[in-house]
């Protein structure tokens, strides 16, 4: 059971990247630092919205994706508030990633330069109501009463079904959904089927 008062971390993203993650147009967040934290993140739309970011939001493909999500123009994008929850399921050094395996939109909305880190997320939950908040830099702790409210607004809490579970393959950073009865086997073998097939070919099996 996932209780709505479990610890919750916050992460502030500049627009339009915050709303692109909210709309599931972007699942990877690229940073120049790593974290061992895994679990729910409250995505905060930074109050700072530089002109360069506004230009990106007003051009394709971001413009069309934002419009599909209900944000008709740059002025509509929320700032200085929490907008969604996501689960941080893994991080990978960009030096270990083949850019050819990264989806085109992720490349458009991230910085995959050497010596950076890809934060892979899943299970986006949009908030029913945006919550104004003055956020800190990097990962920050969220007070328990606010955490509880954010979980409720995201529809998270109570019994959680594990018939399908999202995992990340460390071999290629692909997000994979596995059946619960396959989870133990997946954890033991760790990589996705494509990576395991490549390993088998390389080893001669």
Alpha-carbon distance 205 to 203, whole Å?
6
Which tokens hold the place of 187?
């954890």
Residue 165: pLDDT over 50? no
159 touches 1 (CB < 8 A): yes
State the alpha helices, DSSP H only, in 6-48: 17-22
CATH superfamily, domain 9-158, is Hypothetical protein. (2.30.130.30)
Q: Is the pLDDT of residue 108 over 90?
A: yes
Q: Are the CB atoms for 141 and 25 separated by under 8 Å? A: no
173-178: long-range pairs with CB below 8 Å, 24+: 173/28, 173/90, 173/92, 173/97, 173/101, 173/102, 173/118, 173/120, 174/101, 175/27, 175/89, 175/120, 175/122
Q: Under a CB-based contact definition with an 8 Å cutoff, are residues 86 and 123 in contact?
A: yes
- Is pLDDT of 4 > 70? no
Task: Give the start-end residues of each E strand in 38-196.
Answer: 39-45, 81-93, 117-132, 140-141, 164-168, 175-179
Per-domain residue ranges of the chain: 9-158, 161-205
- Compute the distance between CA of residue 152 and CA of residue 155 in angstroms, rounded to an integer: 5
161 pLDDT higher than 60? no
State whether the Cα torsion 35-54-97-165 is positive or negative. Answer: positive
pLDDT one-digit tens code per residue, 7-32: 799 999 999 999 999 999 999 999 99
Instruction: Please give the sequence-ordered ranges of beta strands (E in DSSP) within 46-204, or none if there are none.
Output: 81-93, 117-132, 140-141, 164-168, 175-179
The answer to whether residues 117 and 33 touch, using CB atoms and an 8 Å cutoff, is yes
Q: Considering the entire predicted model, what is its pTM?
A: 0.76
């Amino acid at each position: 059971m996932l209780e709505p008062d479990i610890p919750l971390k916050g992460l502030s993203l500049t627009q339009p990247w915050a709303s692109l993650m909210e709309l599931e147009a972007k699942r990877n967040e690229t940073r120049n630092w790593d974290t061992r934290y895994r679990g729910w993140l409250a995505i905060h739309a930074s109050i700072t919205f530089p002109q360069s970011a506004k230009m990106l939001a007003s051009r394709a493909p971001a413009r069309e994706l934002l419009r599909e999500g209900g944000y008709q123009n740059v002025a509509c994008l929320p700032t200085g508030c929490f907008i969604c929850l996501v689960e941080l399921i893994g991080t990978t050094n960009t030096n270990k990633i083949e850019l050819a395996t990264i989806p085109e939109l992720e490349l458009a909305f991230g910085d995959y330069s050497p010596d950076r880190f890809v934060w892979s997320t899943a299970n986006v939950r949009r908030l029913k109501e945006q919550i104004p908040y003055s956020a800190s830099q990097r990962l920050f702790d969220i007070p328990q009463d606010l955490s509880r409210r954010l979980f409720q607004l995201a529809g998270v809490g109570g019994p959680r079904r594990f018939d399908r579970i999202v995992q990340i393959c460390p071999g290629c950073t692909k997000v994979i959904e596995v059946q619960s009865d396959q989870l133990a086997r997946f954890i033991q073998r760790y990589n996705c089927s494509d990576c395991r097939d490549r390993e088998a070919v390389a080893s001669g099996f």
